[in-house]
């Protein structure tokens, strides 16, 4: 349970509870504090938060990793995606947003830039341009679970151009993005090999449609994945693990295959032998190769919501924690004990 630290009495009007990373360190540096409520500036809205996404990246940044990429200085409020109801709008924003259920990145966050902060709070700022109305038939929690993963999974899936009958290897298959990609690949008619760590994640991958599962805590797991294809290798590798695991995953790819590395759960993006990949005719793309200014993130987010509402895709929310237990959420993610998406509820 996090420590609750009130602010000074003279500022007690218009305050809210938020989780702050008080310094860089372990989950214990997270504390619930009373801080001033945000005020919407031009083009912005205030969202009364019902749920906030908790990413692996949040745990890395809290520990002090990545300061060369993200300008962060404690104390700060983690969290880059939220869902809730719009309670105030700034200048230039249509008042029709008031009272609407939305899922959105926070005002400071953004794919390929920005900082994933501001979300672990009772109220948060967002840009009106990033708001996605929560579709009828979808809960706010489901929408928040899709806020990052839904549009990212579809961006990866679209670029992979998966064809019926192809073998697709997905690493970090038990996470929020991986569980969606299993389902998109299966819907495209592919044979899915799901790679993850531990029985719970492999059982989940099987339930979602993976034909083959491999535990990458086992030695030579990549050889087992290749063997499952009859020895030719996977036509497509979708790597959400990164690091040495991503480097090993490319060994399971077929000559002439496609590799997309979008994740860094192992501590960094995939460690590829670029010369070997090129010699084998494997096209290797990273996250920033498949995204850009022309990416219509709003349309992708709406597609993801529609797929869930239609019953074609299941969004897996593996665990939720109250705002006061953000430290437990971070500890669970760091221990690799989580499946699907992890959320804080407010």
Residue 251: domain span: 149-289
Nearest to 183 by CA among 311, 337, 339: 311
Query: Would you say residue 111 lies in a domain?
Result: yes
pLDDT computed for residue 266 by the predictor: 62
20, part of any domain: yes
- Looking up residue 73, the CATH number of its domain turns out to be 3.90.180.10
114 lies in some domain: yes
Query: In the prediction, which pLDDT does 128 show?
Result: 97
Residue 108 sits in the same domain as residue 155 = no
Phi-psi region of 243 (alpha: psi -120 to 50; beta: other; left: phi over 0): left
Radius of gyration of the chain measured on its C-alpha atoms: 20
- Listed range (119-128, 200-209, 276-285, 300-309) with the worst mean pLDDT: 276-285
Is 142 part of a structural domain of the chain? no
Q: 153 and 192 share a domain?
A: yes
Q: Per residue in 4-13, pLDDT tens?
A: 655 554 445 6
Total domain count for the chain? 2
- Nearest partner of 196 among 240, 153, 228, 162, judged by Cα: 240
162 and 126 in a common domain: no
pLDDT score recorded for residue 10: 46
What gap in Å lies between CA 189 and CA 200, rounded to an integer? Answer: 25
* 93 and 186, same domain (yes or no): no
Residues 153 and 237 both lie in one domain: yes
Q: Same domain for 335 and 264?
A: no
Q: Confidence band (pLDDT; 50, 70, 90) for 36? A: very high
Q: Residue 41: its pLDDT value, please?
A: 97
Choose between 20 and 264: higher pLDDT.
20
Q: Can you give the pLDDT at residue 271? A: 80
- Tell whether 48 and 171 lie within a shared domain: no
Q: Are residues 257 and 324 in the same domain?
A: no
Same domain, 261 and 330: no
The phi and psi torsions of 246 (rounded to 5 degrees) equal: -65, -40
Count of C-beta atoms within a 10 Å radius of residue 165: 10
Does the residue 220 lie in any domain?
yes
Rounded average pLDDT over 46-58: 96
What is the per-residue pLDDT across 144-183, written as a single tens digit (0 to 9) for each?
999 999 999 999 999 999 999 999 999 999 999 999 999 9
**62 vs 269: which has the higher pLDDT:** 62
pLDDT of residue 5: 57
pLDDT at site 13: 64
CA 148 centroid distance within chain = 5
| pLDDT tens-digit readout, 191-242 | 999 999 999 999 999 999 999 999 999 999 999 999 999 999 999 999 998 8
Judge if 77 and 196 occupy the same domain. Answer: no
Domain of 263: which CATH number?
A: 3.40.50.720
In a domain, 33, yes or no: yes
Q: How many CA atoms lie within 13 Å of 8's alpha carbon, on the beta-carbon side?
A: 2
* Pair 127, 8 in one domain: yes
Looking at 6-15, 64-73, 334-343, which range is the least confident one? Answer: 6-15
Indicate the residue among 273, 289, 305 that finishes a domain: 289
**Average pLDDT along the chain:** 93
Q: Band the pLDDT of 61: cuts 50, 70, 90.
A: very high
Q: Are residues 247 and 325 in the same domain?
A: no
């Amino acid at each position: 349970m996090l420590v609750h630290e009130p602010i000074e009495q003279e500022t007690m009007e218009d305050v809210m509870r938020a989780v702050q990373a008080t310094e860089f360190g372990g989950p214990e540096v997270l504390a619930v504090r009373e801080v001033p409520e945000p005020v919407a500036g031009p083009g912005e809205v205030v969202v009364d938060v019902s749920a906030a996404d908790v990413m692996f990246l949040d745990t890395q940044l809290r520990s002090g990793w990545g300061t060369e990429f993200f300008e962060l200085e404690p104390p700060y409020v983690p969290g880059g995606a939220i869902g809730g109801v719009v309670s105030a709008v700034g200048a230039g924003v249509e008042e029709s947003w008031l009272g609407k259920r939305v899922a959105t990145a926070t005002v400071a966050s953004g794919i390929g830039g920005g900082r994933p902060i501001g979300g672990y709070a009772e109220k948060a700022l967002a840009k009106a341009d990033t708001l996605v109305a929560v579709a009828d038939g979808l809960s706010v929690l489901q929408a928040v679970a899709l806020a990052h993963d839904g549009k990212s999974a579809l961006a990866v899936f679209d670029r992979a151009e998966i064809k019926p009958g192809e073998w697709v290897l997905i690493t970090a298959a038990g996470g929020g993005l991986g569980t969606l990609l299993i389902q998109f690949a299966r819907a495209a008619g592919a044979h899915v090999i799901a790679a993850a760590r531990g029985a719970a994640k492999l059982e989940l991958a099987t339930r979602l449609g993976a034909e083959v599962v491999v535990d990458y805590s086992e030695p030579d797991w990549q050889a087992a994945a290749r063997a499952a294809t009859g020895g030719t290798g996977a036509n497509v590798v979708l790597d959400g693990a990164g690091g040495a695991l991503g480097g090993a995953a490319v060994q399971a790819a077929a000559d002439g295959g496609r590799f997309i590395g979008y994740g860094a759960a192992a501590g960094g993006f995939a460690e590829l032998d670029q010369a070997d990949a090129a010699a084998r005719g494997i096209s290797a793309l990273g996250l920033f190769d498949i995204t850009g200014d022309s990416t219509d993130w709003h349309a992708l987010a709406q597609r993801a919501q529609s797929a869930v509402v239609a019953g074609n895709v299941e969004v897996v929310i593996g665990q939720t924690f109250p705002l006061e237990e953000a430290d437990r959420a971070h500890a669970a993610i760091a221990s690799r004990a989580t499946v699907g998406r992890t959320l804080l509820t407010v």
